[in-house]
């Protein structure tokens, strides 16, 4: 700007009124620049990160889709989880700085479901809320977003959660029909409308169902699980045995009152849901009679060893340690480190945990032996067993992970000891919060300092969280 003004000034007569005005303007600019240089301080960088603590976590009962929640809406479940968290913690609504929720299949009426649920639960309209999506690790993403807000000092108190409602997924008109309807909306005359209606063909009425296949590979996740099972030599019997274990452990935990995160939920019709409805211990004989669900007739994935479509919501209260203690809370865990990974969505769609676990352990300076409780998402029995075999393979470590030797395998007596997604259910957007809350409660119940949470997700992504038990008060 100064050079342009100087050039203009040189071409104007010295006694011109414009010359006088320009000289005054240039002088004022120089003064302004000097003032700016003097007054703007150097940016201050806060090197100290706040400790982030988990105060409590809750969830609605997880129910098979099409059952008791069928007449509700997704924001109803999300609202219920928020209200349950408020009751459980007695946190004043005004103390919550931010709300973030995860979900996968969004209801178009409530695209920012976090906001709608928050308003429905009675939070102030001044409380910011936003929604994230990252397939089956959507609520994990919500938690790590909250973690970052608190650790950086942007917020002191954040509610993170997730919700999924598979009883009523959006089903659209075909693309041709949508284009026609939009054109009808813009038509100005009766003749134009009749002309457009006359172009409608029978195939326009075929609905467009939500995609169940991976967009990038066009492969259903169940097919990926079947291929993983074949690649790692995991038999149908091994998968059924693992699935049965999940149901038996979940039933035991439920009977012993260990599933403390479950809150009762009153549904339309004056019925109150008190517990999950997918926990159904069977027998190997009964499970062996089921037919393959994806690769027929020789596939190994069945309805018994795959997680079922589920409705449910979850929420956790995360705070800075300083804020939690100042309000008299006794946190149940620190949240320490997390990593996200991605790999080939075609051949390694479900192997996120195998890649993420060694990374988060190295980041935290820990080994598998330091972990007292493992919570791994169970999309399929084949998926979790494949991850365990990958972690226990020197060949896989050297050829795919760039490591000199294998990671090792979590002991089964430390893995998903209160059941997992195969038995409890898997509402895509809500599972992450359940995993973290369960890990924290397992540490409190059984002792130990560290827990580790891992999950795979569509698109070949994965996420790992290392949770440390809070110190004794």
Catalytic residue (one of 136, 155, 417, 433): 136
Please compute the mean of the pLDDT values over residues 90-119 and round it to a whole number: 97
**For residue 347, what pLDDT is reported?**
85
d(CA 466, CA 335): 7
Which of 31-40, 155-164, 167-176, 180-189 has the lowest average pLDDT?
Answer: 31-40
Burial 9-19 (b: 16+ CB within 10 A, else e): beeeeeeeeeb
Query: What is the SS3 string spanning the chain?
Result: CHHHHHHHHHCCCCCCHHHHHHHHHHHHHHHHHHHHHHHCCCCCCCCCCCCEEEEEEEECCCEECCCCCCCCCHHHHHHHHHHHHHHHHCCCHHHCCEEEEECCCCCHHHCCHHHHHHHHCCCCCCCCEEEECECECHHHHHHHHHHHHHHCCCCCEEEEEEEECCCCCCCECCHHHHHHHHHHHHCCCHHHHHHHHHCCCHHHHCCECCCCECCCCCCEHHHHHHHHHHHCCCCHHHHHHHHHHHHHHHHHHHHCCCCCCECCEEECCCEEECCCCCCCCCCHHHHHCCCCCCCCCCCCCCCCCECCEEEEEEEEEEEEHHHHHHCCCCCCEEEEEEEEEECCCCCCCCCHHHHHHHHHHHHHCCCHHHEEEEEECCCEHHHHHHHHHHHCCHHHHHHHCCCCCCCCCCCHHHECECECHHHHCECCCCHHHHHHHHHHHHHHHHCCCEEEEEEEECCCEEEEEEEEECCCC
Q: For residue 390, what are its two tokens?
A: 């990958």
Residue 236 CA: distances (Å) to CA of 231, 250, 301, 350, 361 = 13, 21, 7, 18, 31
Query: Over 50: is that where the pLDDT of 191 sits?
Result: yes
Catalytic residue (one of 155, 417, 433, 456): 456
Please compute the mean of the pLDDT values over residues 170-178 and round it to a whole number: 91
**For residue 48, what pLDDT is reported?**
85
pTM: 0.87
Please compute the mean of the pLDDT values over residues 272-277 and round it to a whole number: 98
| Cβ-Cβ contacts under 8 Å for 37 (sequence gap 6 or more) | none
Taking only the tens place, the pLDDT of each residue in 375-418 is: 999 999 999 999 999 999 999 999 999 999 999 999 999 999 99
Query: Over 60: is that where the pLDDT of 30 sits?
Result: no
Query: Over 70: is that where the pLDDT of 17 sits?
Result: no
Confidence of residue 19 (pLDDT cuts 50, 70, 90): low
- The top-scoring range by mean pLDDT among 167-171, 265-269, 337-341, 419-423 is 419-423
Query: Over 50: is that where the pLDDT of 178 sits?
Result: yes
Taking only the tens place, the pLDDT of each residue in 283-315 is: 999 999 999 999 999 999 999 999 999 999 999
- Chain Cα centroid distance, residue 312: 13
Confidence of residue 8 (pLDDT cuts 50, 70, 90): very low
Query: Over 90: is that where the pLDDT of 32 sits?
Result: no
**For residue 219, what pLDDT is reported?**
85
Quickly count: other Cβ atoms within 10 Å of residue 207's Cβ: 9
Please compute the mean of the pLDDT values over residues 250-264 and round it to a whole number: 98
User: Nearest Cα to 435, choosing from 469, 466, 458?
Assistant: 466
**For residue 468, what pLDDT is reported?**
61
Query: Over 50: is that where the pLDDT of 1 sits?
Result: no
Confidence of residue 270 (pLDDT cuts 50, 70, 90): confident
User: Is 155 among the catalytic positions?
Assistant: no
**For residue 345, what pLDDT is reported?**
87
Q: Is the torsion defined by CA of 44, 45, 47, 52 positive or negative?
A: positive
Which of 211-225, 340-354, 435-449 has the lowest average pLDDT?
Answer: 211-225
Query: Over 90: is that where the pLDDT of 279 sits?
Result: yes
Please compute the mean of the pLDDT values over residues 122-149 and round it to a whole number: 97
pLDDT mean across residues, the chain: 90
Taking only the tens place, the pLDDT of each residue in 47-85 is: 689 999 999 999 999 999 999 999 999 999 999 999 999
Query: Over 80: is that where the pLDDT of 116 sits?
Result: yes
Largest Cα–Cα separation, the chain: 105
Query: Over 70: is that where the pLDDT of 44 sits?
Result: no
Q: Is the torsion defined by CA of 407, 369, 136, 340 positive or negative?
A: negative
**For residue 101, what pLDDT is reported?**
99
Report which of residues 398 and 172 the model is more confident about.
398
Report which of residues 298 and 458 the model is more confident about.
298
d(CA 347, CA 224): 7
d(CA 331, CA 91): 13
User: Is 433 among the catalytic positions?
Assistant: no
Which of 4-18, 116-130, 255-269, 454-468 has the lowest average pLDDT?
Answer: 4-18
């Amino acid at each position: 700007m100064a050079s342009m003004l100087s050039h203009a000034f040189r071409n104007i007569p010295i006694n011109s009124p414009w010359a006088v005005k320009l000289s005054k303007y240039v002088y004022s600019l120089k003064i302004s620049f000097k003032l700016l240089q003097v007054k703007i301080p150097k940016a201050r960088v806060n090197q100290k990160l706040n400790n982030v603590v988990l105060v409590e976590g809750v969830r609605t009962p997880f129910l098979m889709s099409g059952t008791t929640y069928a007449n509700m809406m997704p924001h109803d479940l999300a609202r219920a989880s928020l209200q349950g968290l408020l009751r459980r913690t007695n946190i004043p609504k005004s103390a919550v700085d931010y709300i973030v929720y995860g979900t996968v299949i969004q209801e178009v009426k409530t695209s920012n479901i976090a906001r709608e649920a928050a308003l429905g639960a009675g939070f102030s309209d001044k409380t910011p809320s936003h929604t994230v999506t990252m397939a089956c690790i959507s609520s994990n993403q919500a938690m790590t977003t909250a973690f970052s807000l608190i650790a950086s000092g942007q917020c002191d108190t954040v509610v993170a959660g997730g919700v999924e409602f598979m009883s009523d997924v959006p089903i659209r008109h075909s693309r041709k029909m949508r284009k026609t309807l939009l054109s009808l909306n813009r038509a100005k005359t009766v003749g134009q409308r009749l002309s457009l209606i006359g172009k409608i063909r029978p195939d326009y009425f075929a609905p467009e169902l939500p995609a169940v296949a991976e967009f990038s590979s066009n492969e259903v996740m169940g097919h990926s699980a079947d291929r993983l099972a074949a690649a790692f030599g995991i038999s149908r019997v091994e998968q059924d045995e693992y699935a049965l274990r999940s149901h038996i452990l979940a039933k035991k935990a439920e009977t012993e009152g260990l599933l403390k995160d479950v809150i009762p939920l009153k549904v339309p019709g004056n019925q109150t849901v008190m517990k999950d409805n997918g926990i159904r211990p069977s027998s190997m004989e009964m499970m062996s009679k089921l037919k393959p669900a994806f690769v027929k007739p020789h596939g190994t994935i069945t309805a018994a060893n795959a997680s079922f479509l589920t409705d449910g919501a979850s929420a956790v209260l995360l705070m800075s340690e300083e804020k939690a203690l100042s309000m008299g809370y006794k946190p149940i865990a620190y949240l320490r480190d997390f990593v996200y990974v991605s790999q080939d969505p075609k051949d390694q769609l479900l192997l996120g945990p195998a890649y993420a676990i060694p990374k988060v352990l190295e980041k935290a300076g820990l080994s598998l032996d330091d972990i007292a409780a493992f919570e791994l998402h169970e999309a399929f029995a084949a998926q979790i067993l494949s991850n365990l075999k990958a972690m226990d393979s020197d060949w896989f470590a050297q050829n795919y992970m760039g490591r000199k030797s294998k990671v090792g395998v979590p002991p089964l007596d430390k893995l998903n000891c209160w059941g997992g997604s195969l038995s409890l259910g898997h509402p895509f957007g809500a599972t992450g919060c359940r995993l973290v809350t369960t890990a924290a409660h397992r540490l409190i119940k059984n002792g130990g300092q560290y827990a580790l949470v891992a999950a795979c997700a569509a698109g070949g992504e994965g996420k790992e969280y290392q949770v440390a038990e809070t110190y004794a008060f």
